[in-house]
Amino acid sequence: MHARFYAPNAQVSGELIALPQEEAQHAARVLRLGVGAAIRVFNGCGGEFDATIETLTKQGATVRVGEPRTAAPEPRVSVTLVQAVLKGDKMDDVVRDAVMLGASAIYPVVTARTEISLAAVERSSRRERWQRVAVSSAKQCGRAIVPTIAVPRGFDAVPEAITSLNIPSPALMLVEPSAADTAVSLGEIESTPPREASLIIGPEGGWDEHELALAAQTCRLVSIGSRTIRADAMALVALSAVFALWKEF
């Protein structure tokens, strides 16, 4: 298998396109590829092609787009991950894992118990970093689609967004078993795969009562098992569980 590169401009066989700066550096400095090297490129929107490096300088690289190739199939259920921003670099890991498993989009949200404020998230370049993590994960796992990282927003906006269909329904909000009387266990959700769904996952400190009440109006509250799952592992656990239930695995 040839090395894979992210090339958003790869759309039509035969065209000569530039690789993004980071990808060109990866080809030249890490993999030490040269002119004429056979590679694969994917455009992040589902397109995957053979390609050949035509020029490679310190300024960048151009590649000739070759024959289209079949990329790793996407899940039939399009799952949007709504994830409360986690501490430190943990959100990077969640983005990496969610892309690897096949999430369609990632909505970072700031909840009552999120340790970083929405203003601080917006000031930082976190969203750009998460998008780079998503590209890197797509390269490694073989996806030709790079999920969008949405603009971070407050969790208050989420139930409203679900209602106005910006976030796919059914929306499953993961809660601790003790958090809500109305929660069902994940095994009780419909085993018939929906066309799309959302998973909503809280921060290290969990949801507060107001958020649970707000979400109960538009989401299904679901719990996973009877043990305490670490916040930064919950996305991987929940995505694995629903993809297993919906026969994606």
Residues that bind a second copy (CB under 8 A): 72-73, 75, 97, 100-102, 140-143, 185-187, 224-230, 233, 236-238, 240-245, 247-249
Distances in whole angstroms, Cα of residue 226 to Cα of each of 34, 178, 201: 54, 9, 17
The least CB distance from residue 52 to a second copy, in Å, is: 24
User: Which CB, 24 or 103, lies closer to a second copy?
Assistant: 103
d(CA 236, CA 49): 29
Q: In the complex with a second copy, which residue's Cβ is closer, 79 or 214?
A: 79
Find the shortest distance in angstroms from Cβ 118 to a second copy. 29
**Min CB(96)–a second copy separation in Å:** 8
Of the two residues 11 and 228, which places its CB atom closer to a second copy in the complex?
228
CB of 161: closest distance to a second copy in angstroms? 26
Q: How far apart are CA 98 and CA 241, in angstroms?
A: 13
> Which residue number, 70 or 125, has a Cβ lying nearer to a second copy?
70
Length of the chain: 249
Least spacing, CB of residue 119 vs a second copy, in Å: 31
Q: Which 8-state DSSP code applies to residue 33? A: -
**3-state SS assignment for residue 220:** strand
Q: Cβ of residue 21: shortest distance to a second copy, in angstroms?
A: 25
Helix (H) or strand (E) holding 23: helix 21-25
Q: 54 or 196: whose CB is closer to a second copy?
A: 196
In single-letter form, the type of residue at position 248 comes to E
Residue in this structure with the two tokens 């530039």, named with its chain if needed: 18
Q: Which residue has the tokens 């929906």?
A: 194
What tokens does 242 get? 């629903």
**52, 40 in Cβ contact below 8 A?**
no
Considering beta carbons, is residue 110 or 224 the nearer one to a second copy? 224
